[in-house]
Structure 1
Amino acid sequence: MKKYIIIISIIVVGAAVFGLVFSLKNKQSQDQEAQAELIEESKDREVLITVEPGMTFSTICEEVGVSATLMTELLTTSQETYDLVKIRVGREIKFYFDKETGNFVRLIYPIDSEEELFIEYDQAGVLLAERRVIDYQIKIKTVSGTIDSSLYQSALDQNVDIRAIIELADVFAWTVDFGMGIRVGDTYKFIYEERYRNNQYQRPGKILAAKFVNDGKTIEGYYFSEGKDDDGDIVDGYYHSTGESVQKIFLKNPVDFKYISSGFTTGRRYVEAFNVSTGHRAIDYAAAAGTPIRAVGDGTVTFAGWSKAGYGNLTSIRHNSVFSTNYAHQSKLAVSSGEKVVQGQIIGYVGSTGFSTGPHLHFEMVKNGTKINPLTVDIPSDKSVSAEKMEEFKTAISSWQEQLNNIII
């Protein structure tokens, strides 16, 4: 009996030793493969080009030594994935070449803050192009404060990336008038992502949760994604704790303005410059000539051209069966009749065409055929969290709510 026990023990120990040896060899093999990959990667020479005004993909390729034939092949290969003719000023294009042969290996171009274009050869030597999600390292940052002059200045005083401030303002753009509605003493708290690559800060990411107290009214916004719809598009947005969307149908203001030069009136007023008395069922936003004008909501352009009624260059947008908006006195139009536009899209530029005494945007909102005051109309939320996702939403935001409540200003 002891003999069998000894034999079994030897077998068990032997198996363990064999397993250990195999594991060590396997790890050694993996280390060798990783080392080989590093050696292979080190063979690539990187050439980084920052796109400057006047540069084209053609001139950049010529500068880095890419032949006209290869340049054409790169353009053709990437056309359906991303058109390299549309490279943007300020972006960086990375070319990689084999250190020994000098042959092209790959190209990387940042399409936006979320994706990069990769063009490289496959094992068969065929050029392939694909979009790849940028793999950021995410750090969570919390910011809070009391406004003394403006939200921007208050956050900048805390060394917050201005892009995060702009993103925060965008979250509340439908409910807070950042042009005229900010009050001294208003408070804010927000939690957002900071994105890093190779331990180097790159840019702010999503605003995850925010609370803004404006003139005594508390407004909250929480980021939530319901996943993808049947078309593969991500369904996400910012919502109140009730699940109702923070985003309204319309932006609060269609232009960054200096002041309101003329308010909404139903009575008649005398305009000395033109010696006429007329009503003013609109808001006039005084702004510098050339300031971009943005569509306050999604819709279809029903008119874009010269108006004979004194509006000068005019754009009219139908948003739905109830609402439409008009943008008058533009210096230049940026859309055409019949074109579909999205909220925030630039549709033209501030000017002083038509019956106008100076650069401004004459903005009209029409509800069921009647011009109404854009500053006082109560616009309902555009969407809400779906019923089947409501419990998931409540669970997702509970930790953000707790963190916001624990921030002492």
Structure 2
Amino acid sequence: MSYGGTSGTATLSLTDAIVAPLRDGDTLPWRDRWQATIHSLDLVPDLGCDIGSRSWWRGFATLGVLILSAAATFPGMGALPGASGPMLDANDWEMARAQAIMPLAYGGDTGLHMAATDSVQPLAASPERPHIELTATLGQGDGFERVLLRSGVGEGDAATIANLVASAMPLGDLEAGTQLNLKLGRRMDKALARPVDALALRARFDLRLEIERVDGALTLHRIPIAVDTTPLRIRGRVGDSLYRSARAAGAPAKAIEAYLKVLATQLSVGRDIGADDQFDIIIDYRRAETGEAEAGKLIYAGLDRASGKDLRMLAWTQGGRQQWFEASGVGQSRQGMSAPVHGRLSSHFGMRRHPILGYVRMHSGNDYGAAYGSPIFAVTDGRVDYAGRKGGYGNYVRIQHGGGLGSGYGHMSRIAVRSGASVKRGQVIGYVGNSGLSTGPHLHFEIYRNGRPVDPSSVRYVTRAQLEGSALAAFRAKLNTVTRVAPGAALAPMHIAKAANTAPPSEADRLPG
């Protein structure tokens, strides 16, 4: 509200309008006085102003009340109560699983009857189908016998069929996605499961199994499937892109990726391969007489270069480890040498004052400080030339690596190899100790070139496997066999004489139903 006067216009608040008469000595009713007091009371003042005043303490009290109220109503951090009860039994689990949506390749078994509602009127009698044909799929992690039971096969027939199939191959070898073609016959009573009249499945790429009921007994028939294992060879010009050209020629993507990795171990794929070079890829390949085909792993990687040395690499297993070898029998190289022990370098190669003898002399290796008993590793492949006690070295091992190079390991607490033994890179040959002339647990590591010690930090090993003798002859024979395969030979029409599969079943293949 406002009022006019000689000094201008002023604004009067509602609180001032109520309180003003009191200042002039007038009185107001108690209700008006109470409202005026409430309107003038500020419970939430700015606590950053007038610190220590009455209004500030009033706001601080309001803040305390709010904090205490929040704490009093805090629900706590305990676990929420949940309903407890028994887990699903077998029947409830099967019914719940039937309602799930799953791919057939993973064992989807939708289609079980749901519980009837009040609108369903049961029939007094219904016609019985003479037989039912259906297809069941073995899911990942599923059980063979469980698939049969889920498909309506009785427990007796399911156990018998499982035993028959197990006599032909382990049930665990059946792959996920295997389809079972079932034919269920007529039953004498609706309360009973239908008997199995026939079952067929592709057990392996080269084997089909058929089971039929003959004179009341289930009989197994093994039907071999002829398979052509001619490798698939794909050749072509590199052009603008090796990957796109190989894909256009029909090579699988995974085989091309493996091929490029093999090439990368011998040359630079982006710099050393020209557009006029010819790629040569050979992979494992299987074709069944029924028309199915499977492409396997890369077994040969070749590159016919327009300029430069041609590349011919064959996958070969040597010493229990598969690697790629060149046509000359030389395997892949491994660069550098591994650390002889997990520890810190405490003393370098060169002249130094001996900590025990007290005079300056040549320190012929590097010292690595490590905890007592820490394992010591061979830096690369080789043969143990010496293992035993050796003067100031204490327990000592010397390894010859070929090409005039050798390594020595001293002050061991215990030796883990014998003289004459072959060792691999990273193999434990002993343990850190304090034997010989030593002031504490550490490894004295040396590198020899033609019998003379050299600075270990100046040596970088390059190890390459080399086939010799009978192993080299077998490798070259396999290489010649593989490279004689003509490009596209694996895709030629199959000419296989089918053998009759009419032999009577053996007693092991005939079990009562």
> What range is the shorter-chain TM-score in?
0.3 to 0.5
Q: TM-score, normalised by structure 2?
A: 0.33
Structure number, greater radius of gyration = 2
Q: TM-score, normalised by structure 1?
A: 0.39
Greater percentage in strand: 1
